[in-house]
Structure 1
Amino acid sequence: MPEVLIIMGSKSDLPIAEKAVDIFKRFDIDYKVMIASAHRTPSRVEEIVTSSDAKVFIAIAGLAAALPGVVASFTTRPVIGVPVSGKMNLDALLSIVQMPPGVPVATVGLDRGDNAAVLAIEMMSISDSGLADKMASYRKEMADKVIKDSEGVADV
């Protein structure tokens, strides 16, 4: 049983999903990646979501980006939407952010599959102290990298 289910609107979203997968592998999180379109295969989206035991869903979509909202309509578990950049990226972002009352979708930045994975892990770490410790170490490592990268910059 995957702890996180990543649903992409199309195969072209795979590079964004791979950013999340890299984070999940680092944290030893069980995940699954699937393709289903909110517009072309809505019954498949419903079947995937309602039959899943995942703790968190990540939905990646561009253009009208209805997928995260459709996923949220079929579950009460957390859904994280990842808008895909492209010609109409503002539409994708707004369609995920502007959900109606009672059906929220957490939203990360354009193409930020990595941040979606981090947010999913933070959600799961609420009830898993070992995962919370790993996340604290990861965040410290990220902060240390920023400090190391800034060394010598003031001398330029």
Structure 2
Amino acid sequence: MAQVLVIEGSRTDDKNTNILLKILCECNVDYRVDCASAHWYAGLIYADYIKKIKEKIIIFIGGMSPSAPGIISAILRNLNKHDTIVIGIPADKAARSAIEDLPMGTPVLMPGFNTTSVKHSIINGGLTAAKLALAQSNNELIRDGLSDWFLNKHRKKPIERIVLNDKGLIP
């Protein structure tokens, strides 16, 4: 069984999903991917799909006002599966509100929404999932993957001394 289930709302989300999958790969997190729209498969079909999920971390990534993260959380609550975490990653501004504005008792993690670069939000979602997977499993491969990711990221941005001009300003 994979540690993380990634669900995309439609195949139009493939490009963004691949950004997420790259992070999970780099952090050595086992995952599987499904495409399952809560809008197209609403009702018992979707509830039956959620009921069969074994993974303890579910990431939903999608745009255009996805209702799936809240629906998944509500179904899990009704199934008494309180040990499963739902992460909602918005792929656009419309998706942000649908994930943020959920009623009490419908917990969904959202790694923020970077209005300048959705890619940043997706990467943060992947890192959040990797940290949760590490917390659940204490898997050294995931710990090493996360450490390597952060080390490599910071190597690209060394501390730099800025030489000021004669007026004490950055030229």
Q: Normalised by the shorter chain, which TM-score bucket? A: 0.7 to 0.9
How do 1:53-92 residues align onto structure 2 when only pairs under 5 Å count? Answer: 53-75=54-76, 76=82, 77-85=84-92, 89=93, 91-92=94-95
CA distance in 2 between partners of 1:120 and 1:69 (Å): 17
2:145 is matched with which residue: 113, 130, 134? 134
How do 1:1-156 residues align onto structure 2 when only pairs under 5 Å count? Answer: 1-42=1-42, 43-75=44-76, 76=82, 77-85=84-92, 89=93, 91-108=94-111, 109=113, 110-111=118-119, 112-127=121-136, 128=138, 130=140, 131-147=142-158, 151=160, 154=162
CA distance in 2 between partners of 1:145 and 1:129 (Å): 27
More helix as a share of residues = 1
| TM-score with structure 2 setting the length | 0.76
Which 4+ stretches in 1 moved above 3 angstroms? none
How many aligned residue pairs are there? 149
| TM-score with structure 1 setting the length | 0.83
Larger Rg: 2
**Structure 2 segments unaligned to the other structure (5+ residues):** 77-81, 164-170
Q: What secondary structure, in the 3-state scheme, does the structure 2 residue paired with 1:20 have? A: helix
CA distance in 2 between partners of 1:129 and 1:35 (Å): 27
**Structure 1 segments unaligned to the other structure (5+ residues):** none
Q: What amino acid is the match of 1:29?
A: V
**1:44–1:4 CA distance, 2 compared to 1 (3 A):** farther
